Amino acid sequence: MNILIIGSGGRESAFAYKIAQSKKLDKLFIAPGNAGTLAYGENVPLKVTDFEGQAQFALDNKIDLILVGPEEPLVKGIHDYFLSREDIKHIPVIGPQQEGAQLEGSKDFSKQFMQRHQIPTAASRSFDRSNLEEGLAYLETQNLPIVLKADGLAAGKGVLICESLQEAKDELKAMIADAKFGAASDVVVVEEFLKGIELSVFVLTDGTSYKVLPSAKDYKRIGEGDTGLNTGGMGSISPVPFADEIFLSKVEERIIKPTVDGLKKDNIPYKGFIFIGLMNVGGEPFVIEYNVRMGDPETESVLPRIESDLVDLLEGVAQGNLDTRSYTVSSKTAVTVMLVSGGYPGDYESGKVISNIENVKESIVFHAGTKEQNGEVLSAGGRVIAVTTLQDTLFDALQQATADAGRIYFDGKYFRRDIGFDLI
């Protein structure tokens, strides 16, 4: 098969790494890819939302399957675009159509979906310009802290946890009346604060059957000890030690099955990944959010643990017979440490020469924000490289990943040395 991956981050590097191992693969392309994906396939200079360009490339290169990494093209309708054209609709796209992508693209849509299908989640109400006064009055009846969420995509910044009533009222007004997050906060979901420990569970579905992929936990804050600003993710581990068999069976019965069945009942076609952000509240799982793609850097910890052929699984999704595909997971622990540019998630410099990658022997080096120029690898983003180690124990994996993260060099490099140490 010829496969085209859409995206350019650490997640897409991990997909490329895994897909390149498949016996079913003929040629792999990554659009646009990065310096690291060159090791697994050919980079194609196309933007992730250039659907016409992707379509032409797919026709010219006899692409048999398209795997979409990030949410933006999904929410903007890449899958619908391919289905809408006679000449390309035979090419399967892994990732939901626009309607299903609303699970991530609209918090209000996803809350209504969960309520309709009795999927455990925080109690909530949605407000907009027409009932802002009601929203302000509603805040007075709620416990603190309280969570305000912009309905639409806001680059991971649209969630506010307010500690005081005044702050909550000010923010609700700023979001709805003053468009704090642009059109994304025309509608705001006001949600009960859940106290617990977060983890993510990933599901691959063909719309009827599903495979539960390894669980993972990511570390979102920039600083050690989970301090400082939120980032796209500074590291991840898989599996999650506190997500034992009992907890995961609750997740499957109460959340995964009703989610896949709910999509079917609502006539929402869905072929792709579902990323379920969960809060473990005293042993009971609640959904914090859905994403319609894999997580980054969770993918870098999850995929190396999957022993099965990912292309075979993706083919099962495309053909609607995922239940017939073999699926096994390694019992080893994966730890991913992200190397970022100094200053990230604020301003940072790019174009720094990255060296010593070849000295990492015991970990997988996934490129995230990198580019190749005149034979050198340069940084080209906030999150630059993800180092993943697979070991028999969490402790060994943590030590190895941290040591290997230290071996790679670029000017201004920063990484957290405490990824996963809270769980030992």
What residue ranges bind ligand AMP (CB under 6 A)?
122, 147, 149, 159, 191-194, 198, 277, 288-289
Which does residue 71 touch among ligand AMP, ligand GLY, none (CB within 5 to 8 A, set by kind)? Answer: none
DSSP per residue over 75-110, as a string?
HTTHHHHHHH-TTTTTS-EES--HHHHHHHH-HHHH
Q: How far apart are CB 155 and ligand GLY at their closest, in Å?
A: 11
Cα angle 222, 223, 227 (rounded to 5 degrees) comes to 100
Which does residue 280 touch among ligand AMP, ligand GLY, none (CB within 5 to 8 A, set by kind)? Answer: none
**Tally of CA atoms within 13 A in the half-sphere of 136 that contains its CB:** 16
The closest alpha carbon to 389, from 334, 337, 339, 329, belongs to 334
Q: How far apart are CB 83 and ligand GLY at their closest, in Å?
A: 26
CA distance 37 to 5: 10
Q: How far apart are CB 294 and ligand GLY at their closest, in Å?
A: 7
Cα angle 276, 281, 287 (rounded to 5 degrees) comes to 25
Q: Point out which residues pair with 333 in neighbouring strands.
A: 391
Which does residue 147 touch among ligand AMP, ligand GLY, none (CB within 5 to 8 A, set by kind)? Answer: ligand AMP
Q: How far apart are CB 154 and ligand AMP at their closest, in Å?
A: 8
Which does residue 193 touch among ligand GLY, ligand AMP, none (CB within 5 to 8 A, set by kind)? Answer: ligand AMP
Using the Cα atoms of residue 139, residue 145, residue 151 and residue 157 in order, give the sign of their dihedral: positive
Instruction: Enumerate residues 6+ apart whose C-beta is below 8 A from 158.
Output: 107, 149, 150, 152, 181, 184, 185
Looking at the Cβ atoms of 4 and 201, the one nearer to ligand AMP is 201
Three-class secondary structure of residue 256 per DSSP: helix
Looking at the Cβ atoms of 22 and 110, the one nearer to ligand AMP is 110
CA distance 88 to 417: 47
Q: Point out which residues pair with 162 in neighbouring strands.
A: 146
CA distance 262 to 296: 26
Neighbours of 8 (CB within 10 A): 27
Instruction: Enumerate residues 6+ apart whose C-beta is below 8 A from 166.
Output: none
Looking at the Cβ atoms of 14 and 378, the one nearer to ligand GLY is 14
Which does residue 191 touch among ligand GLY, ligand AMP, none (CB within 5 to 8 A, set by kind)? Answer: ligand AMP
Q: How far apart are CB 159 and ligand AMP at their closest, in Å?
A: 4
Enter the tokens of residue 412: 């201004």
Looking at the Cβ atoms of 184 and 368, the one nearer to ligand AMP is 184
Which does residue 289 touch among ligand AMP, ligand GLY, none (CB within 5 to 8 A, set by kind)? Answer: ligand AMP
Q: How far apart are CB 271 and ligand GLY at their closest, in Å?
A: 20
The CB-nearest residue to ligand AMP is: 289
Residues that bind ligand GLY (CB under 6 A): 218, 233, 291, 295-296, 298
**Tally of CA atoms within 13 A in the half-sphere of 364 that contains its CB:** 27
Which does residue 288 touch among ligand AMP, ligand GLY, none (CB within 5 to 8 A, set by kind)? Answer: ligand AMP
Looking at the Cβ atoms of 144 and 353, the one nearer to ligand AMP is 144
Q: How far apart are CB 219 and ligand AMP at their closest, in Å?
A: 11
Looking at the Cβ atoms of 206 and 296, the one nearer to ligand GLY is 296
